[in-house]
Structure 1
Amino acid sequence: MSTGYLPHARRYGAAGVPVGTWGRFLGALSGQGRMDNQFLVALARHPAVRDALGRCYGRADMMLEAGWEQVADGMKAVMRGIGCEVIFSSPATRCRVVAQRIATALGLEIRIDGRLHELDFGRWEGMLWRDVPRTALDAWARDVEGYTFPDGENARALRARVAEFWDDVMQQRRPCAVVTHGGPLRLLRALARGGVAALPGDDAPPMGSVHVMQPRLAHAGRNG
């Protein structure tokens, strides 16, 4: 079971779940038979970043837009509501500062994990998409997982490191939160459902959103 929540709904133009309803959601989970060895995970995407329109960025250290603190505070309410014990974060500034703000407010352990980095686009980083050669874009489209970006990585490498991270989460079985990027979140949501992690997969969740999931104890793990 899962539910989505957008902490700063007015800004991002989506209907979020009010913080006051969070207890009812948790009660619904209990009513569906949560077992003692089950736990909840809050999968959060960093808030909106500056100068991103039409731009290719993955490892590029983009800065957050003004007002990100309010988005983080909305995430904090969700993470408190699920009894979060630890927050995992990508090393990227746009994720790390959000996780640090929440961890400080809630008195939680924070773990910065390089496996949660976004896909490394190599020499494409920071370019406008319109400036990327069409032949290169076509080559990527022909092999979404296998195409290796110049001086970067391919989606297969991203999938392997995210699956390895998820294996660790499943072994620990602690209520936790993950603050990361669109690419890793596509994979993590599939893994949490017990499915096969692959790209392109699901659409990336909106920036600033939180998706709470009750992971299936059997999952695809490392695949490929």
Structure 2
Amino acid sequence: MSAFLVHLMRHGAPQTPGLLLGRTDAPSTPGGIAACLERARALPFDALIASDLCRAARAAEAIGEPRGLPVALDPRWRELDFGDWDGLAPEHVERPAMAAFWDDPDANPPPGGERWSALTARVDGALAAIPERNTLVVTHGGAIRAALACLFGFEQRHLWAFELPYAAVVSLRIWPGAGRTAQIAGLQA
């Protein structure tokens, strides 16, 4: 069995950074898309997948066009749904509720939002569907952290320790088959 690379890229900076953007379909800035293009330039990949939200999809389309690669949109790569908090700045959420969420997002999901376990379940399904060839996935910070939880068993408190700025890339080497094994092959922040 031969390993293949999966590059998980966080979308470029949105027009209003710092908000809890889950299902909100906020576009990236032109500079955010340019940062993704620059980051992708040296990455080896033969397939291109993206979240269907425009801040990820538009960057993937810009990356794929010069390579002649179509983009497969997959909603399983969306960000965590922040429910009633979606589109708000964290400081506009009651401090105890926000702290409880960061401490345990599965036990304390946003009102009307998604539990962490639901995010990891859908990202795990998306990971399993990746073709066994070098692939770039343009997605969101929460989905990247969920992928790391699925592949490596990281706990929440460990995942929050990863800084994932806009256009960051986490490269993974994955060996297919039963018991899917992986290693972190690189991080470009």
Rate the CA distance shift 1:106–1:185 in 2: closer, same or farther, 3 A: same
- Does residue 45 in structure 1 map to residue 10 in structure 2? yes
TM-score by length of 1: 0.70
What is the alpha-carbon distance in structure 1 between the residues aligned to residue 68 and residue 47 of structure 2?
9
What is the alpha-carbon distance in structure 2 between the residues aligned to residue 220 and residue 199 of structure 1?
20
| Aligned equivalent of 1:71, options 35, 41, 54 | 35
Give the corresponding residue for 2:119.
158
Rate the CA distance shift 1:207–1:87 in 2: closer, same or farther, 3 A: same
Amino acid at match of 2:16: D
Shift of 1:119: 0.4
Amino acid at match of 2:31: G
Give the corresponding residue for 2:139.
180
What is the alpha-carbon distance in structure 2 between the residues aligned to residue 152 and residue 211 of structure 1?
26
In structure 2, stretches of 5+ residues that fail to align are 183-189
Give secondary structure in 2 for the equivalent of 1:105: helix
| Aligned equivalent of 1:94, options 43, 51, 55 | 55
Q: RMSD of aligned C-alpha atoms?
A: 2.3
In structure 1, stretches of 5+ residues that fail to align are 1-35
CA contact (8 A) 1:187 1:201 kept: no
Question: Cα deviations across residues 20-75 of structure 1 (Å, max 9, x unaligned)?
Answer: xxxxxxxxxxxxxxxx621111111111122223x322221222123234323213
What is the alpha-carbon distance in structure 2 between the residues aligned to residue 220 and residue 40 of structure 1?
12
| Aligned equivalent of 1:123, options 84, 90, 109 | 84
- Does residue 59 in structure 1 map to residue 23 in structure 2? yes
Shift of 1:108: 1.1
Larger Rg, first or second structure (1 or 2): 1
CA contact (8 A) 1:185 1:204 kept: no
CA contact (8 A) 1:48 1:208 kept: yes
Give secondary structure in 2 for the equivalent of 1:71: helix
Rate the CA distance shift 1:51–1:142 in 2: closer, same or farther, 3 A: closer
Give the corresponding residue for 2:152.
195
Give secondary structure in 1 for the equivalent of 2:156: coil
Amino acid at match of 1:65: T
What is the alpha-carbon distance in structure 2 between the residues aligned to residue 103 and residue 74 of structure 1?
12
Moved more, 146-155 or 113-122: 146-155
Give secondary structure in 1 for the equivalent of 2:4: coil
Q: Give the % identical residues.
A: 28
